[in-house]
Chains A and B, each alone.
Chain A
């Protein structure tokens, strides 16, 4: 019997992370479903597509040929089919996005959880570290790193990961600190549970939805970061990503040739994926913190309606003799 229906005065959703939370959070919000579907679609395209397209850079026609029946998005500055390029670009962009997000979560997660759980000197030290990374300006760092370590996909993934872990760390630290004080964690500790049990069995499962939300949002950030790194010319020369496509279009003077099909589609792809990821991440965040949905600030108020047909009747009844009906002396409750 769900206690929500009996104990609710003005019912309010509690944001406990109970099992099935993510499932409910995502499936409950249409925007999240759309987001997930879009991302999965692109992942499928990125994984399967390249096997179908063959070498995307092959020249199949004149430079900057407009879209036609055989080449739906026309050809780029090298005469290669845009659709094939986009499909391959999906693989690289998504790969970098997810991998970089993963690196971020890993670093940020470890730092955040350790700082939040142990507090004290560990916390101070780790937060100093976070602060240093937080203030590093990202674009100059990327330029410097590209110059120093070369332009490879691996480096790009690492750089993006290293730049963006700080938000995760701070979020997790705050969340872990708060969960650490929950009674059930204190109970477990008082009963003799060790730190690893507390972290892995109690705290991590509680922060998992937050981590997922954060990861999804980080994927969006990472894909976008990869795009502009590559656009700035710091990307891996041998990899085709959406950013690379945009960069190529610029260096090949696509604009002068009015070849919108060479610039716009990759940008649109990035935008769609970033939007989808943001929608999903936001939906999870909202589910975690129902107060984000500011219903109580709504202008609408309660509404009036008619009395239900089964009303109470209060006849001017004659006073019955005091039957001790409710049994002042008889009929006790149970001790149990």
Chain B
């Protein structure tokens, strides 16, 4: 289903009908009153793929399940149901021991560069740690070379300037690059980037994003989690828009942004502030806030806030399908009015 799939090799990451449910603790009163156990429907059937050399942006507001999805892919949590395949191998139910070698191939970059590095570790120690954990690169000089190479690849040149520094001696952008270098030292195939630049200064963001783009061009697959549609539009190949645990629209980045098919996407795009003060479009501000993931609306989960909802929307839970207005086969939306 992916636009640029060649069909020959399996996609790097293949997620199918992923479901993550969390029980909500009831508390004493709840237990005594025999209230039903609440369940957080964090992710409710998410299907997508990431190919080598491709960046997919998972976009959505808080509570949409994008971070939980990333945690599942990373196998830091056990999915409730569904399948996650990495390079064709089913990793959904693997135990800690079997997952270990995979931990080299799949790496994650976190949002907060100020917390990503152990303040007691020098840059050298942080970047060396993955090698230590996986018992790689024996001789000291060989290790040092790997570390230097990773730092260069992450854009920290000359690497000798950084290798002995402590995190508090580095700026936010530099810290994030060190975190990226620590991920690169294991030569991963898939990078998960959770809001990689949202805590960085504007003037530094592009540098890190271009770095990620460069890595993508080298063949890495990147799954980027972001709430920032503008960033996704500029740097991702494909965008998947999530709402309340589902992907409601998915397609090539430019297509999703210039020709949105789902009413939620349209509303989101209309309220994203634009740089040009003259470009003051009529924002379609939805009322209220995203509902509680413990109480998903019946039928289409977006219908209570949808500006174009019709009675049928309360009965049908739409799946992702090619829409009548889409210009590309890989551009799908979950809206009965758009099909």
- A touching B, CB within 8 angstroms: yes
Chain A interface residues (CB < 8 Å from chain B) = 1-4, 6-7, 14, 16-19, 182-194, 197, 201-202, 205-206, 333, 335-336
Does B310 touch A at the CB level, under 8 Å? no
CB distance from B218 to the nearest CB of A (A): 16
Q: Which residue of chain A has the shortest Cβ distance to B174 in the bound complex?
A: A3
Q: Are B170 and A197 in contact (CB under 8 A)?
A: no
Q: Is the CB of A187 within 8 A of B110?
A: yes
B170 near A3 (CB under 8 angstroms)?
Answer: yes
- Which among A6, A17, A187, A336 has the greatest number of chain B C-beta atoms within 10 A? A187
Bound: A194/B183 CA distance, A = 17
Query: In the bound complex, how far is the Cα of B168 from the Cα of A6, in angstroms?
Result: 12
Beta-carbon contact of A190 and B74 below 8 Å: yes
Picked from A2, A184, A205, the residue with its CB within 8 Å of the CB of B115 is A184
Tell me, in angstroms, the Cα distance from A189 to B171 when the chains sit together.
24
Q: Which listed residue, A18, A188, A193, A197, touches B119 by the CB 8 Å rule?
A: A18
State how many angstroms separate the Cβ of B320 from the closest Cβ of chain A. Answer: 29
CA distance A7 to B175 in the complex (A): 14
Chain B 192-213: CB-based contact to A (< 8 A → 1; otherwise 0): 0000000000010011001100
Interface segment among B100-108, B261-269, B271-279: the answer is: B100-108
Residues of A within 8 A of B112 (CB): 183
Q: Is B330 an interface residue (CB 8 A)?
A: no
CB distance from A287 to the nearest CB of B (A): 14
Contact A336 B107 (CB under 8 A): no
Q: Can you list 14 pairs linking A and B with CB atoms under 8 Å apart?
A: A3-B172, A17-B119, A182-B115, A184-B115, A184-B117, A187-B110, A190-B76, A191-B183, A192-B134, A193-B129, A202-B118, A335-B206, A335-B207, A336-B206
Residue contact B168 to A188, C-beta cutoff 8 Å:
no
CA distance A16 to B114 in the complex (A): 11
Q: Is B291 an interface residue when CB atoms closer than 8 A count as contact?
A: no
Q: Are A184 and B118 in contact (CB under 8 A)?
A: yes
Minimum CB–CB distance from B111 to chain A (whole Å) comes to 8
Residue of A nearest to B155 (CB): A336
Q: How far is the CA of A5 from the CA of B182 in the complex (A)?
A: 27
Per-residue 0/1 for B167-187: is the Cβ within 8 Å of any A Cβ (1 yes, 0 no)? 111111000000100110010
Whole-angstrom distance between the alpha carbons of A194 and B74 in the complex? 16
Q: What is the CA–CA distance of A16 and B166 in the complex, to the nearest angstrom?
A: 12
Which one of B99, B118, B168 lies within 8 Å of A3 (CB-CB)? B168
Chain B residues with CB under 8 A of A201: 129
Binary A-proximity of B206-237 (CB < 8 A = 1, otherwise 0):
11001100000000000000000000000000
Task: Tell me whether A205 and B120 are in contact (CB under 8 A).
Answer: yes
Chain A, Cβ-Cβ closest to B129: A188
Within 8 A of A (CB), among B20-43: none
Bound-complex Cα distance A205 to B211 (A):
32
Residue of A nearest to B122 (CB): A19
User: Are A190's CB and B103's CB within 8 A?
Assistant: yes
Given the interface pairs A183-B115, A193-B129, A197-B133, the reply to whether A7 lies near B120 with Cβ below 8 Å is no
Q: Indicate whether B116 reaches chain A with its CB closer than 8 angstroms.
A: yes
Which A residues lie within 8 Å of B182 (CB)?
187, 191
- In angstroms, how far is the closest chain B Cβ from the Cβ of A324? 18
Least Cβ–Cβ distance between B137 and chain A, in angstroms: 15
- In contact, B168 and A206 (Cβ under 8 angstroms): no
Closest beta carbon of chain B to A104's beta carbon, Å = 25
Closest to A179 in B: B118
Expressed in whole angstroms, the Cα–Cα distance for A182 and B111 within the complex equals 12
Inter-subunit contact A19/B115 (CB<8 Å): no
Name the contact of B120 in the complex, choosing from A17, A191, A333 (C-beta under 8 A). A17
When chains A and B are docked, how far (Å) is the Cα of A201 from the Cα of B133?
12
The 9 closest A-B pairs by CB, nearest first: A192-B103, A183-B115, A16-B119, A184-B118, A18-B119, A336-B207, A183-B116, A193-B133, A183-B110
